[in-house]
């Protein structure tokens, strides 16, 4: 389980590294989508789904987060050549941090 969480954190870091200068509509659309995903993950953790006694529920949630994170990584790679403004890079860093914090909370809940 820790390996899966670490892999997701590494993929998130890769999302951040792919940013360059400028700004584009495609980047904004990606960031909106990524923020929506992060919000969903945060809601999942705060709802208590990750502290369930049912391992199936927890594994389904982890799998969902992993698949979404992989999807976001692929989208970020596709935007590698797009221009990213300083504000967009800052927003990406904030979202990546929120995702990482959510993963840490999830990990703690699963250890209970």
**pLDDT in single tens digits along all 112 residues of the chain:** 666 565 565 555 555 544 444 589 999 999 999 999 999 889 888 887 666 666 777 778 778 888 888 888 898 888 988 989 999 999 999 999 998 898 888 877 777 6
Domain ranges of the chain: 2-110
Cβ-based neighbours of 61, under 8 Å, separated by 6 or more: 44, 49, 50, 106
Burial class (CB in 10 A: 0-12, 13-18, 19+), 106: buried
Per-residue pLDDT, 2: 62
Per-residue pLDDT, 56: 79
Per-residue pLDDT, 51: 65
End-to-end, the C-alpha distance of the chain in Å comes to 14
State the CB neighbour count (10 A cutoff) for residue 108: 12
Please count the residues of the chain.
Answer: 112
């Amino acid at each position: 389980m820790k390996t899966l969480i670490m892999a997701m954190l590494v993929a998130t870091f890769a999302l951040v590294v792919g940013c360059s200068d400028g700004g584009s509509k495609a980047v904004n659309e990606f960031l909106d989508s990524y923020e929506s995903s992060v919000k969903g993950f945060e809601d999942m953790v705060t709802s208590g789904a990750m502290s369930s006694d049912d391992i199936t529920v927890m594994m389904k949630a982890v799998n969902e987060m992993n698949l979404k994170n992989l999807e976001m990584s692929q989208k970020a790679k596709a935007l590698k050549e797009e221009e990213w403004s300083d504000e967009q890079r800052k927003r990406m860093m904030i979202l990546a941090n929120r995702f990482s914090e959510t993963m840490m909370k999830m990990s703690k809940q699963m250890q209970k």
